[in-house]
Structure 1
Amino acid sequence: MPSATYTLFRNAILSEQQVVCSYDGRPRELCPHIIGTNKNGEEVVLAWQFAGESSGRLPQWRCLKLTGVRDARTRQGRWHEGGLHRTRQTCVSAIDLDINVHVRKRR
């Protein structure tokens, strides 16, 4: 059974909503694109971080282990797509939902 955080991020992908949360002690503003599990079976999400704090430059792709996400909530706002994530992403091994395959393809 998926965690509550997993469900929140999955629903954010389906409705193209931003997610605001804390990760590694830093506030993050994200648009999640792919969710599933990594090679160790941990729940993970590949998201475009467009604002908040980071150890590197923003915007950029982020791979988040959902066990490390705190105080996540969705919000309305402009959807940020980032660069093409199909360029050999290694974050999510077992993909449950990919915005480009499951959401945008239906339009």
Structure 2
Amino acid sequence: MSNNYDLIAEAIKNKKQVIAMYKGKLREMCPHVLGRKNGREQALFYQFGGESSSSTIIPGSESNWRCIQLDGLTNVSLRDGDWHTADNHSRNQTCVDDIDFEVSF
């Protein structure tokens, strides 16, 4: 497992926010699911702040879900803060096939 994997696992277990760079953009996110898809480490995040290349981040929006390959994350750090999610968090996700960690509500 990668260092990023260990950090995201800790964030899920302790409901910590993740701050990282991804595709050249600063992301503020809360991870919900961690594992692998097609053998690659991936996580499903709810992005609540920072920048995005796909759409504007609107707090509480159901479109702020991000499926991210962990090897693309840099400058990863964890911090305490409010846990962010959306009302559609219980919808079936396709980001991670082999789930190792999932946030509990």
12-21 vs 84-93, which moves further: 84-93
Give the TM-score, by structure 2 length: 0.89
Query: Which residue of the other structure, out of 64, 77, 89, is the alignment partner of 2:81?
Result: 77
Give, in whole Å, the separation in 1 of the partners of 2:89 and 2:83: 15
Query: Which residue of the other structure, out of 41, 44, 56, is the alignment partner of 1:43?
Result: 41
* Partner in structure 1 of residue 56 of structure 2: 57
Give, in whole Å, the separation in 1 of the partners of 2:67 and 2:102: 14
SS class of match (1:96): strand
Shift of 1:79: 0.7
Q: Which runs of 5+ in 2 are unaligned?
A: 59-63
Shift of 1:64: 0.5
Give, in whole Å, the separation in 1 of the partners of 2:29 and 2:43: 10
Q: Which runs of 5+ in 1 are unaligned?
A: none
Give, in whole Å, the separation in 1 of the partners of 2:39 and 2:90: 21
- Determine whether 1:16 maps to 2:12: no
Q: Give CA deviations for 1:32-86 in whole Å, capped at 9, x if unaligned.
A: 0100001x11000001000000121214000010000000000011111223333
Give, in whole Å, the separation in 2 of the partners of 1:20 and 1:61: 15
Considering fraction of residues, name the structure with more helix: 1
Give the TM-score, by structure 1 length: 0.88
RMSD: 1.1
